[in-house]
Every structure is written in C-alpha cells, then in structure tokens.
Chains A and B, each alone.
Chain A
Amino acid sequence: MQFGVFSVGDITPDPTTGRAVSEAERIQIMIRVALKAEEVGLDVFAAGEHHNPPFVTSSPTTTLGFIAARTERLILSTATTLITTNDPVKIAEDYAMLQHVAHGRVDLMMGRGNTGPVYPWFGQDIRNGIPLAYEHYALLHRLWREDVVDWEGKLRTPLTGFTSVPRPLDGVPPFVWHGSIRSPEIAEQAAYYGDGFFHNNIFWPQDHVKRMVELYRRRWEHYGHGSADQAIVGLGGHVFMRKNSQDAIREFRPYFDHAPVYGGGPSLEDYMAETPMTIGSPQQVIDRTLSFRDIVGDYQRQLFLADHAGLPLTTVLEQMDILGEQVVPVLRREFAALKPAHVPEAPVHPRVAAARAGGDAPGVEPTAEPATAGTPASAVSAS
C-alpha cells in the first residue's frame, strides 16, 4: 500500500498570527514538504493544480520535475490535473517528459476543477465539465498508446498524423487515477479504462464514499479488468496529531475554524463525526485510517492533506515526522496483514517496481502494450 501527502498550494494566513507567507515562501514550503515525504519514508507526493489566487501551484510538472531531481524513490503525482481546461496534448507531452526525467516515478490524478472562471480563462465552458473530462481523456489515452494519432472530437481542434513526444518511458504510459467527490460518471469512466479511482473523502460522509467506490469496483469487474476487489482505490485523509488528543484539538481548532473550505461552518467535533477528518493522537489516526478499509475494502493508496490552512512549516514537518515514525509503519503492517494475496498493489512503472524489489533499476525494457482502449495502463505491481 502506498502512503503519501498532497498539497493544494494555498496561501492562507496563519489564523494564530495573521501572517501570510509570500508566493516564494509558499512554493519553497511545498517543495520542502515533498522532500520531507521521502525523508520520513512516505511513498507519494501529489501536487494540486490551480489557476487563481490564493494558490501558487499552476505549473505542477515544473514543481514535480524539480522534486524528481532531489529525490530517489518518491512517486510524484497530482491532486488533481485538470483534464477539462488543460489541452490533453500538452498533458501527454508534459507528463511523459516528467516520467522520463523521474525514471518512471510518476502517475497522475485527473480532476475536473470546480472553479467556474477557470473554464472561460482557458477557452472552455464549465457546463461541458463531464464531456471535456471524457473527450480529453479519451484523446490523452490514445496519445500515450498510439505512436501516430488521427483524431477528431467536438471540443478540441482535430489532429492528423500527430505523434506526442517523448513517447512514454519504456512504452508504459503513466498510471492514471480519476478523482471525483460526487460524480458517479467519473467512477464509471475510471472503471471503463481500468484506471484507478481516488476519492478525496475528506469532504464527504462515509456512506457516500462507500457508494462511489462500490460503483467503481462493480463496474471495473463489469468491464473485465478483474474482480471488484482488485480495482485500484485511493483515498484522501485529513489528520492532525499530538501525543494527547486534547492538545491536537486545541492546537488545530483555529486552523479549522478559519480554513477556507469549512471555516464558519460546522464545529470541529461535528466535522470529525461526519467526515474522516481525525484530529487526535497517533493511535486515533491509526484506528480511524484502518477503519477506511471497512468502508471501501482493501485499497492501494492513502494520501493525507499536509500543508494547508496556514499551518506553519515547522508544524507541518512535525506532523510528517509523526506520520512517518508512528503512524504509517503501523498502517503498512496492519493493512498488509489484512490484504488477501489476489488484491494488487497500485501499478507503478516497471523500473520503479524493480528498484523497490531491491534490484538495480533495469535497463530499457520496452514493454509496449497493445493499443486497445480499456487496457490497464500498467499491470505491473510493486511488491
């Protein structure tokens, strides 16, 4: 199972001091968090993508490319890549390039984006959100699997004789997750392609998360990718820990009360009861996270929101130390003991899988796969 952190790159004033960091500081904080993820033994860092203040993260491949150069084993991902307003041709090029630069340590999470004005700023219409997600992804899927593409759709200019370069590393496209909080159509899309499905369940009640994941699993099996319990599921999580849970709640409450996404709404206590947010001791976080398995089944990736809501960098790094030292090792052990052998790990690039298996990264071993729609991006699992 993979564990990691994701950053949305928000500049939010620290409510306890009123101070907001500069863009320059915020970008360095994101990078520091990513490097820390590898230092404390996490597997994944995922960068958000936004095109409006107060966010700083408009160019994820630049950020991730830099992080790739400074890390050895961390998987670089996104949370999320805007499949609607980005040109799928540019996504194909940028992330294939990143995949080469990072020696295969790359996957992506597709999302639609819910900031209305971003659509017209990029020449699109939010009312086409789902059609854009379908059409753009269908094209991206082909661009990574067919050397020469002739394509015509409704929402982008046609292509004749186009080759997206560089070709995916070793002929293996980056693995793709599809993220959605509330749209069953996206779970259906993920199942159709045999891609991963990620539910950022930090904002939603458990029974809804359960229904979305059950739909994805059932349809995954329907489309012939394996049994429902072999589908590739990821979850978001939102934690803040201190040795004593009361200290954690006391320290985190001002950040909760003023956070852009839930400030002014429910109490911290109600929010914790209704969503998977866990503010407490490391043991409470362990217990709560293990309980996610009861809701969605054996799953492959758990990401935690790290730097956000104006939390000081030192606090964020302390939280990551606790995650790496006290929480994730226990979760790895417990989840592994519960997982049946036929349930796969999340697919990673063959080079990454080989490196993790203990051997040196192999030379180029082309494993180009048939250009059939619906084929899983990679059937190779980490051990």
Chain B
Amino acid sequence: MTTSRSLVVVSAGLGQPSSTRLLADRLTAAVERHLRDAGVEPAVQVVELRDHAQDLTNHLLTGFPSPKLQDAIDAVVGADGLIAVSPIFSASFSGLFKLFFDVVERDGLAGMPTLIAATGGTARHSLALEHALRPLFAYLNAATVATSVFAAAEDWGTAGVAADGSLVERIDRAAAELASAMAVRAPRPARDRFADPVPFEDLLKSQ
C-alpha cells in the first residue's frame, strides 16, 4: 500500500518568472523524488503569494481572509510538509512573505516539517536564512530541517552537478532531510474545532 503525504510550497517571489519560484520548484522536485524513494506518494500544492498580495493586506485590515486566501491558509496548515521560499530584501524575508505567516492561525505550523530557502543577488545575503527565517519558524514551532538553501544569482550559473557545497548538492541534502521528516511523521489529522467542540464542562475545568 502506498502512503501519501501532502507537500505545500509557499513562494514569495515577485517576478514572473522569479528565481524564488525557480528555487522552490527545484526543491519540490527533489523532495518528491526522495519521498517516492521512501515509498511515499507526494501530493504537491504551490502557493504563490503574489496571487494573494491584495487579499493579505485586506485580511490585515478587515480581520478575515477572502475565500481564496482561506484556501491557501488551509492548505498550509493541513500539510504534512512545507517548503517556504522568500527573496531576501533588506537583510530579511520579504514583507509579503511575512504577511502570509502573520495571518496563519496560531499553532497552525506547530510540529510541521519545514524546509526554508531564500534567494538573493549575492551570497552575502545567505545568512539571512539563519538570522531571519529560522527564528520566525522557530517562533511558529515548526520543525525546520537543519539544512536551509540559499541561491544567489551566481549559483544558477554553476554546473548542474552535485559537487560538495554546490546549489544542487544543498538542494538534494535539504530535500532528503525534509522527505525523511515527512515520511516518519504520521499524516496530520484534520483539525476542526467546529466538528469536535470541547464540551463546556471540560472548558470550565481546564481554566
């Protein structure tokens, strides 16, 4: 029997096409390959934050998401694994990237196997992954894998072979880590506070 796991990819690239999406796609393909090697069938969904930029602002101002944005949030919260990729702007993730994770419900990413990745003009921005993205996902209680992947413009000009420390090698290493974290973790149960309410007596006692 083949098991399956859902993988959701959040890309905050702005251009179309964007190098952020390009990196996201390479990571996705690598995670899919490792999952299949482990006997797990991946179900991939990509969330392009550019498509939700207006709705994210509206959500902040009105307090509720549009149906389309709600679908994207539900997909992320309900996933078995997450790839989150942002361009680095001014020493950190982009504002659009942060907007999305600002409106994901509290505890929505708790325990979620997560691969963080980023793009930038030069490798001098690469530690923003460790100083900005990793603490953000630590705060959200995500289970971020050890290897993060930064792709500078120059990385796209190197040979597509897995030399030690090359982009291709780092993508493969990070993808293997995420796939193995996803494979060993039981599929996330559907969370529905409406279908299974906590009885009032229990709510009173838990105070």
Contacts and interface: CB of A to CB of B under 8 A. Distances in A.
A95 interface: no
Interface stretch (A26-34, A262-270, A323-331): A262-270
Contacts of B16: none
A212 interface: yes
Interface stretch (A53-61, A131-139, A232-240, A245-253): A131-139
A145 interface: no
Interface in A192-246: 192, 203-205, 207-208, 211-212, 214-215, 219, 223
B194 A134 contact: no
B184 interface: no
Contacts of B124: none
Contact of A135 (B64, B193, B207): B207
A211 B18 CA distance: 39
> Interface range on chain B: under 10, 10 to 19, 20 to 34, or 35 or more?
10 to 19
B204 interface: yes
Contacts of A204: 64
A138 B64 contact: no
A134 B193 contact: no
A261 interface: yes
A211 B63 contact: no
A188 B198 contact: yes
B194 A215 contact: yes
A139 to B, nearest CB: 12
Contact of A203 (B62, B194, B198, B199): B62
B67 interface: yes
A287 interface: no
Interface string B121-149: 00000000000000000000000000000
A189 interface: yes
Nearest to B60: A265
A203 B200 contact: no
B207 A265 contact: no
Contact of B58 (A214, A261, A266): A266
B203 interface: yes
A156 B115 CA distance: 47
A185 interface: yes
B61 interface: yes
Interface string A169-195: 000000000000000110111011000
A219 B197 contact: yes
A189 B203 CA distance: 9
B194 A214 contact: yes
A94 interface: no
Interface of B: 54, 57-58, 61-64, 66-67, 70, 193-194, 197-200, 203-204, 207
Sort A-B residue pairs by CB-CB distance and give the 7 closest, nearest first: A265-B61, A192-B200, A266-B58, A265-B58, A131-B207, A211-B194, A184-B193
22 contacts: A130-B203, A131-B207, A134-B203, A134-B204, A184-B194, A185-B203, A188-B197, A188-B200, A188-B203, A189-B203, A203-B63, A203-B64, A204-B64, A207-B67, A215-B197, A261-B62, A262-B61, A265-B57, A265-B61, A266-B54, A274-B64, A274-B66
Given A184-B193, A185-B203, A215-B197, 18 more contacts: A134-B203, A134-B207, A185-B197, A185-B198, A188-B198, A188-B200, A189-B200, A203-B62, A203-B64, A223-B200, A261-B62, A263-B61, A264-B61, A265-B57, A266-B66, A270-B66, A274-B66, A275-B64
